[in-house]
């Protein structure tokens, strides 16, 4: 197993090769949660992910004839970019096998670093098997995304930097997929500060490490917005380290992750992907557990498909009551719609969409059902708009 000296050696190896990202307090999130919250902005790395730490550490240690043979990796995107970028820097051939569902932004970004892209399989496990076959066939060095001591040591430098920046942190919350990041961070953190608590976070739809360390048997789903931690098989090396050094692993659902993405965008003006938002999702889901503590959250990456981000923002606005859909019943006569829109406007609502429904309704034939999608200031404002419509003589309700 790796130890603190391996991670410190990795830190020296990475000096000047990757960004030492900021770890700073979020005063707003601290006020909201009751904990003192510090954010480690790994989404600011050049490839927008912590993954390039492990990749760089691994590639920098290739020796003899290994560099000339080139490297191959399998990844849903962030590890792929890390390997491709640092292989390009070091003049190595890089082949990257990615599952077919990988967001286009990650595929194109990886290709831009000069890597040869192979899209294969519908899961990381299928991509891994194909990558191993190609590695044997073409005599390439296989760079595993997490189950490799050099990778784990590289990722562990995140923990070193967090405790250098904020030595009195007493809790670290880290997303878990294959476990490379949390394993490395936990080794470093426990060596430097044995009393620190390290908590892992997995997506409820992919609870593989949760099942492994807690001897549970929760079912695995087909997809998650946190595709960066959607790992079907936990690492052998990482599982052993997690069982030894990590205090707990918790689960968050899709809505929790979506809310965290929107909060970070709105409050911190920083863009994270689903896996990067998982630690904040865990904090928001159970704030009482962290209240009064100094908590470090690792924002692991910021590579997210723009269309997915747009959908998440819109859904977040709905959950916050900033976007509402209301149904209004009215007489189907000239001027009714104008009166309704005027009332909504006077109440301060901004209309996004209007749908007239005459056929698919149980109302009397001379009536019409009007569906409005409106922008509001929150839940109380929705109630105020509905009250104004009812005072105007209309039957109105939120859908």
> 52, 157 in Cβ contact below 8 A?
no
Max mean pLDDT among 129-133, 171-175, 304-308 falls in: 171-175
Q: What digits encode the pLDDT tens for the residues 219-275?
A: 988 789 998 898 888 899 999 999 999 999 999 999 999 999 999 999 999 999 999
8-state DSSP, 107: H
Q: What digits encode the pLDDT tens for the residues 32-65?
A: 999 999 999 999 999 999 999 999 999 999 988 7
Pair (246, 394) in one structural domain? no
Phi, psi angle pair for 193, to nearest 5°: -145, 85
- Is 80 exceeded by the pLDDT of residue 363? no
Phi, psi angle pair for 84, to nearest 5°: -60, -45
Tokens of 165: 């920046």
Pair (163, 243) in one structural domain? yes
CATH number at 370 reads 3.30.70.260
- Is 80 exceeded by the pLDDT of residue 103? no
In DSSP terms, 301 is beta-bridged to: 49
Please say which residue of 281, 298, 316 terminates a domain: 316
- Is 80 exceeded by the pLDDT of residue 80? yes
- Is 90 exceeded by the pLDDT of residue 101? no
The pLDDT of residue 153: 98
| Predicted TM-score of the model (pTM) | 0.90
Please report, rounded to a whole number, the percentage of residues in the chain having pLDDT higher than 90: 78
Please say which residue of 258, 281, 316 terminates a domain: 316
Mean pLDDT of 303-310: 89
Pair (152, 138) in one structural domain? no
CATH number at 120 reads 3.40.50.1100
- Is 70 exceeded by the pLDDT of residue 392? yes
Pair (300, 223) in one structural domain? yes
The pLDDT of residue 374: 94
Q: State the burial class of residue 195 (Cβ atoms within 10 Å of its Cβ: 0-12, 13-18, 19+).
A: exposed
Tokens of 360: 């698919």
Mean pLDDT of 181-205: 97
Tokens of 287: 């704030």
For the chain, what is the domain count?
3
Please report, rounded to a whole number, the percentage of residues in the chain having pLDDT higher than 70: 98
Pair (208, 331) in one structural domain? no
Pair (188, 39) in one structural domain? yes
Instruction: Return the higher-pLDDT residue of 154 and 103.
Output: 154
Instruction: Return the higher-pLDDT residue of 124 and 90.
Output: 90
Pair (311, 221) in one structural domain? yes
Pair (191, 250) in one structural domain? yes
Instruction: Work out the mean pLDDT of the chain and round it to a whole number.
Output: 92
Tokens of 153: 């040591």
Please say which residue of 316, 346, 366 terminates a domain: 316
Tell which residue, 322, 386, 329, has the closest CA to residue 352: 322
- Is 80 exceeded by the pLDDT of residue 98? yes
The pLDDT of residue 207: 95
Q: State the burial class of residue 170 (Cβ atoms within 10 Å of its Cβ: 0-12, 13-18, 19+).
A: middle
Pair (204, 89) in one structural domain? no
What region, left, alpha or beta, does residue 154 occupy, with left being phi > 0 and alpha being psi -120 to 50 degrees? alpha
Pair (70, 211) in one structural domain? no
Helices (H), the chain: 4-14, 27-33, 51-60, 66-69, 78-90, 104-112, 124-138, 149-165, 180-192, 208-214, 236-245, 254-267, 274-285, 287-290, 306-319, 336-346, 379-391
Pair (250, 360) in one structural domain? no
Pair (215, 133) in one structural domain? no
- Is 70 exceeded by the pLDDT of residue 358? no
The pLDDT of residue 192: 97
State which residues form the domain around 108: 53-142
The pLDDT of residue 31: 97
Tell which residue, 106, 12, 2, has the closest CA to residue 57: 12
Please tell me the distance from the alpha carbon of residue 87 to that of residue 71, in angstroms, as a whole number. Answer: 8
């Amino acid at each position: 197993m790796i130890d603190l000296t391996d991670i410190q050696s990795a830190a020296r190896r990475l000096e000047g090769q990757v960004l030492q990202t900021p770890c700073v307090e979020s005063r707003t999130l601290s006020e909201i949660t009751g904990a003192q919250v510090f954010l480690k902005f790994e989404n600011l790395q050049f490839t927008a992910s912590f993954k390039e730490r492990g990749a760089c550490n691994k590639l920098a240690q290739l020796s003899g004839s290994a560099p000339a043979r080139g490297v191959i990796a399998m990844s849903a995107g962030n590890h792929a970019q890390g390997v491709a970028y640092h292989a390009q820097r070091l003049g190595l051939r890089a082949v990257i096998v990615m599952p077919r569902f990988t967001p286009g932004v990650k595929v194109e970004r990886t290709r831009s670093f000069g890597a040869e892209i192979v899209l294969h399989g519908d899961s990381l496990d299928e991509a891994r098997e194909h990558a191993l076959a190609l590695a044997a066939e073409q005599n390439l060095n296989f760079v595993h995304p997490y189950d490799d001591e050099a990778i784990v040591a590289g990722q562990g430098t995140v923990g070193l930097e967090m405790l250098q920046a904020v030595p009195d942190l007493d809790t670290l919350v880290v997303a878990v997929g294959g476990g490379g990041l949390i394993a490395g961070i936990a080794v470093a953190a426990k060596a430097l500060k044995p009393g620190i608590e390290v908590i892992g976070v997995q997506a409820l739809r992919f609870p593989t490490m949760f099942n492994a360390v807690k001897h549970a048997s929760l079912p695995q789903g087909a997809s998650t917005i946190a595709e960066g931690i959607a790992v079907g098989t936990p690492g052998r090396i990482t599982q052993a380290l997690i069982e030894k050094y990590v205090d707990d692993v918790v689960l968050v659902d899709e809505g929790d992750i979506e809310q965290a993405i929107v909060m970070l965008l709105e409050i911190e003006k920083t863009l994270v992907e689903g896996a990067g938002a998982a630690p904040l999702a865990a904090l928001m889901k159970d704030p009482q557990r962290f209240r009064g503590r100094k908590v470090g959250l690792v924002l692991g990456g910021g590579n997210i498909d723009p269309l997915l981000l747009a959908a998440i923002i819109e859904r977040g606005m709905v959950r916050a009551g900033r976007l509402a859909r209301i149904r209004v019943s009215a007489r189907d006569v000239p001027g009714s719609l104008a009166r309704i829109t005027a009332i909504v406007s006077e109440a301060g609502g901004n209309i996004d969409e209007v749908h007239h429904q005459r056929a698919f309704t149980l109302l009397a034939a001379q009536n019409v059902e009007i569906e409005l999608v409106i922008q509001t200031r929150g839940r109380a404002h929705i109630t105020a708009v509905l009250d104004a419509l009812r005072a105007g003589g209309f039957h109105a309700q939120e859908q």
